[in-house]
C-alpha cells in the first residue's frame, strides 16, 4: 500500500471515530433542523423560537476577495428574523474573544449584502454562540453571555442587536439545566439518559454513513494537508538553498563532475516520484470535489422544499438558500 493510500485509509478511520465535538461533524449533525431547533431552544429558552432554517453547512463568508474568510459551523435564521451562528471549539488558542469580532462583522456584512432595504435599522439581531471544550475565562461557569454596555452607566445597554454567548463543558457552577448538562457531557464523551442526547447519537451514526459527507471531510483534510505541505516545502527550499551553497563549495574541492552527476540522478528520481504522487492526489481531489458540489446542490434543494412546505414565498427561499428563482420554480 502506498503512502497516499495509507493517508486516505487513516482519514477514513478517523472519520469513523469522530465525535460531536468535531466541528465538521457538529455542523453535519445539526443540519437536521429539528435537532438544531431543539439545541437553540436549549441554549436560548427565553426567546421562544418556534422554527429555524439552516443556511449552508460550514458556510464561508468573505469581506473582499483578498481577505481571510470566516467559516461558520452552523448558520441559521429563526422565525423572528434573527441570525444565529453556533460554533464548536475544541482547542483553546487564547484568541476566541477577539475572534468573535470577526464572526459578528462578517455576519453583519453578509446580512447587509442580502438586505433589500440597505437601512441600518433593518439589520437583524445576531447571536454568536461558541460551545467550547474548555472554560475560556476560567471562572467555573458553563455559560457567559455578553452584550455591549456603557462603562459609565452599567445598566445602559447599547441595543445594537449583537449578543455573544460562550458555553463550555468544563464549568463547575450549578448554572445550567439538567438537559443542558447532559448535552455538554455528551460532547465530553459521556452518555446520559437524556432523550435529546439519544437523538443526537442516532444522527451521529447516520452522518457517518453519508458518503458525500465523508468525501467532503476527506477533501477538507486534503486542503489542510496541502497547506501544511506548502509550509514544509518552503522550509525545505530554504534549507536546500543554504545547503546547496555550502555543498557547492565543498563539491568544488572534492570534484565538480562527481557531485553534478549524483545530483542529477537524485533530482530525477525525486522529481519522478513526487510527480506521480501529486498527479494521483490531484485526480482524486478533483473527483471528490465534483461529488461534494453535487451533494451541496441537493442539500439546497431539500432546504427549499422544506421552506415551501412551510408556506414561505420564493423570495424568502432565494434569500435563505441562494438558489435562483428559475431553480426554485423547477422544484
Q: Which of 229, 228, 221 is nearest to 274 (CA)?
A: 229
Q: What is the pLDDT of residue 135?
A: 97
Instruction: Write the pLDDT tens digit of every residue in 23-59.
Output: 999 999 999 999 999 999 999 999 999 999 998 655 5
- Which residue(s) pair with 164 in the sheet? 128, 146
Instruction: Write the pLDDT tens digit of every residue in 96-137.
Output: 999 999 999 999 988 887 766 667 888 899 999 999 999 999
| Three-class secondary structure of residue 166 per DSSP | strand
Is 0.75 surpassed by the pTM of this model? no
So where are the chain's domains?
Answer: 19-209, 213-329
Q: Strands 143-146 and 83-89, how do they pair? A: unpaired
Q: What is the pLDDT of residue 191?
A: 82
Q: What is the pLDDT of residue 117?
A: 63
In what helix (H) or strand (E) does residue 75 lie, and over which residues does it extend?
strand 74-78
Q: What is the pLDDT of residue 209?
A: 92
Q: Which residue has the cell 447587509?
A: 112
Residue 64 has pLDDT above 50, yes or no: no
Phi, psi of 216 (to 5 degrees): -65, -40
Residue 66 has pLDDT above 70, yes or no: no
Residue 201 has pLDDT above 80, yes or no: yes
Amino acid at each position: 500500500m502506498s503512502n497516499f493510500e495509507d493517508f486516505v485509509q487513516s482519514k477514513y478511520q478517523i472519520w469513523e471515530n469522530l465525535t460531536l465535538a468535531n466541528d465538521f461533524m457538529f455542523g453535519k449533525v445539526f443540519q437536521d433542523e429539528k435537532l438544531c431547533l431543539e439545541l437553540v431552544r436549549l441554549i436560548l429558552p427565553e426567546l421562544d423560537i418556534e422554527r429555524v432554517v439552516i443556511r449552508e453547512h460550514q458556510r464561508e463568508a468573505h469581506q473582499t476577495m483578498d481577505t481571510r474568510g470566516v467559516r461558520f459551523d452552523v448558520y441559521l435564521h429563526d422565525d423572528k428574523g434573527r441570525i444565529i451562528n453556533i460554533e464548536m471549539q475544541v482547542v483553546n488558542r487564547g484568541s476566541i474573544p477577539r475572534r468573535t469580532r470577526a464572526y459578528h462583522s462578517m455576519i453583519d456584512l453578509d446580512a447587509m449584502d442580502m438586505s433589500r432595504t440597505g437601512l441600518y435599522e433593518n439589520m437583524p439581531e445576531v447571536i454568536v454562540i461558541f460551545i467550547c471544550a474548555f472554560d475560556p475565562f476560567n471562572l467555573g461557569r458553563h455559560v457567559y453571555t455578553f452584550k455591549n454596555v456603557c462603562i459609565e452607566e452599567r445598566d445602559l445597554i447599547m441595543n445594537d442587536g449583537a449578543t455573544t454567548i460562550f458555553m463550555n463543558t468544563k464549568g463547575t457552577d450549578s448554572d445550567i439545566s439538567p438537559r443542558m448538562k447532559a448535552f455538554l457531557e455528551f460532547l465530553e464523551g459521556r452518555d446520559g439518559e437524556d432523550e435529546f442526547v439519544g437523538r443526537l447519537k442516532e444522527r451521529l451514526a447516520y452522518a457517518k454513513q453519508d458518503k458525500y459527507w465523508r468525501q467532503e471531510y476527506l477533501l477538507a483534510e486534503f486542503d489542510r494537508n496541502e497547506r501544511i505541505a506548502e509550509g514544509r516545502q518552503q522550509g525545505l527550499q530554504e534549507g536546500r538553498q543554504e545547503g546547496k551553497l555550502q555543498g557547492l563549495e565543498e563539491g568544488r574541492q572534492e570534484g565538480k563532475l562527481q557531485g553534478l552527476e549524483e545530483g542529477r540522478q537524485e533530482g530525477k528520481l525525486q522529481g519522478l516520484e513526487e510527480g506521480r504522487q501529486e498527479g494521483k492526489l490531484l485526480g482524486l481531489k478533483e473527483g471528490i470535489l465534483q461529488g461534494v458540489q453535487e451533494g451541496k446542490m441537493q442539500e439546497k434543494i431539500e432546504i427549499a422544499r422544506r421552506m415551501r412546505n412551510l408556506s414561505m414565498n420564493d423570495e424568502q427561499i432565494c434569500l435563505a438558500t441562494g438558489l435562483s428563482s428559475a431553480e426554485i420554480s423547477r422544484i
